[in-house]
Structure 1
Amino acid sequence: MRRSVVVLTLAAAELVAAGPASAAPGTGAIKGVVTWKGAPPADPAVDRSRDPACPTGRGAEDVVVTDGKLRDVLVRIKLAAPPSAPPSAPPPAVIGQTACMYTPRVVGLVVGQKLEIRNLDPTFHNVRGNLATKILWNLGQAKGAPAIVRENLGQPGDVVSLHCDVHPWMSAWVAIHDHPHFAVTGADGGFTLPDLAPGTYTVEAWHPTLGTKTSKLKVRRGKTTKASFTFAAPPAR
């Protein structure tokens, strides 16, 4: 298995396939994978020696590629207009502090959904939440302390970034939506957006380092639209 870091640009392709696309009757789905093309550079090293509780040998992991698949990409529908009624808030989303890293590093929330931040490390962290340059909170969290729970983080379209000033390489991002049609890629680069009404959608693929790319995709009733986003290393200068 090879995991590396790469700076990439995005292209998209689409296909339509028959099959059980969604649990909701009369709807379709979008399903795909985010991949990379080309040789990625090495993951920048991080000096973790000042805290013996933090494992060594891990880099910054700003952009992570595993077996050709890109992690930490938020794929979401961009609605032409806000929904007529706000979505029901699901259970809290959870971000853990594990091995002195935020896991997962990218999370999507709907408006009104709570965020839990848990310290699973045998060391002290502080959790600073920023909306652009505005500090929303800055709270210490000792080993074994209760989860930090935040709610009403912002408005649809906002992205709240999380930081630990004790371990400055730690960062995560929380994107807020007025609908539930989003997913974040894991190590396999895969994503699924189910329960979509038939129609043509603008789909955004957002990465905190690589930025946002968009693609127009058509969803048909009872079908799965297959989407592939391919990132390629920029040409050498």
Structure 2
Amino acid sequence: MKRTIMTGLGLAICAYMTIAAGSPLDALAYESGTVVNGATVQGKITFTGTVPEPKTFELRRYYDREYCAALSDGKGHRLLREVNVGQDGGLKDVVVVIEGIEKGKPFTFTDAEVEASLCQFLPFVTVVSDKRRVTVFNRDPVSHDIQGYAYDQSGVDIVLHRPALHVSGTTDMVQLVKGRKVFTMQCGMHPYMQNWGYAIDNPYYAVTGPNGAFTIGDLPVGTYRIKAWHPILGAQERE
């Protein structure tokens, strides 16, 4: 599956304490501990250029077209807006991660949670963790299923399939084979229902909201790389 690397994306970062920059450390199991006089990294992800048009789906071709038309364009089409830019250029749905941290503040991540509401998966972008759970709740009166994939530039693997979601939540284990970081889910009955996840292995991450801003705190002294990832626009890194 080929994706275009980000163009027109600005990664602006300011640090409240000095953090050395350099090559990432080798990936090791993260160790939770106590951080004294930790640093904070704060920034904003901005987009410049022409915002991609949303994908268009003809509702008549899919199940439950009357119910799912609640978020249509009024002309029989469901729109999937994959790139959301605020009035000030802030880019939503970017996962910002600091890589190469072996030890730091407690890492308490357990489950990723997604809900199906008005025939869309919310949030559109989240974080996941390898060999940990993802739970999907169905808030709609119609049926949905899950098809989950792990992928990178070298290929795609299907990692889960559940034929029916439950109101109380359908839980499965995320298995990101071959060291892949990107996880995506889609409803087989409603292909405009999509969710993207980026795999994290430490607690130093953030997901941008509508204004593109992020803050990551309690960083121990060390050498790190900061990565900004968007499911459609790709990734950029800063040292």
More helix, by proportion = 2
Quote the residue 1:178 is aligned against: 201
- Note the 1:1-237 alignment, pairs <5 A: 8-17=7-16, 25-49=36-60, 50=62, 51=64, 52-54=66-68, 55=70, 56-57=72-73, 59-67=79-87, 68-79=89-100, 83=102, 88-111=107-130, 113-132=132-151, 133-141=156-164, 145-154=167-176, 157-216=180-239
> Which moved further from structure 2: 64-73 or 45-54?
45-54
Higher normalized contact order (CA 8 Å, seq sep 6+, divided by chain length): 1
1:204 & 1:95 partners in 2: Cα distance?
23
The gaps in structure 1 that reach 5 residues or longer are: 1-6, 217-237
Q: 1:160/1:42 Cα in 2 relative to 1: closer, same or farther (>3 Å)?
A: closer
Q: Is the 8 A contact 1:89 1:110 kept in 2?
A: no
Compute the displacement of 1:24 (Å).
5.1
Note the alpha carbon deviations across 1:11-63, whole angstroms, 9 max, x for none.
33443448xxxx95310111122122345354333323442111212521111
Note the alpha carbon deviations across 1:48-95, whole angstroms, 9 max, x for none.
34421112125211111122221111110121xx6269x644342211
Q: 1:45/1:147 Cα in 2 relative to 1: closer, same or farther (>3 Å)?
A: same
Q: 1:204/1:168 Cα in 2 relative to 1: closer, same or farther (>3 Å)?
A: same
Normalised by the size of structure 1, how large is the TM-score? 0.74
| Percent of pairs with identical residues | 27
Q: Is the 8 A contact 2:187 2:194 kept in 1?
A: yes
Q: 1:17/1:26 Cα in 2 relative to 1: closer, same or farther (>3 Å)?
A: closer
Q: 1:9/1:147 Cα in 2 relative to 1: closer, same or farther (>3 Å)?
A: same
Normalised by the size of structure 2, how large is the TM-score? 0.73
Matched residue SS, 2:235: strand
Note the alpha carbon deviations across 1:155-203, whole angstroms, 9 max, x for none.
6652221011101122212222221111111222121111111344210
The gaps in structure 2 that reach 5 residues or longer are: 1-5, 18-33
2:140 & 2:85 partners in 1: Cα distance?
25
2:48 & 2:181 partners in 1: Cα distance?
30
Query: RMSD across aligned C-alpha pairs, in angstroms?
Result: 2.8
1:108 & 1:102 partners in 2: Cα distance?
14
Q: 1:100/1:212 Cα in 2 relative to 1: closer, same or farther (>3 Å)?
A: same
Compute the displacement of 1:214 (Å).
0.5
Quote the residue 1:231 is aligned against: none
Amino acid in structure 1 at the alignment position of 2:109: P
Quote the residue 1:230 is aligned against: none
Number of aligned residue pairs: give it. Answer: 203
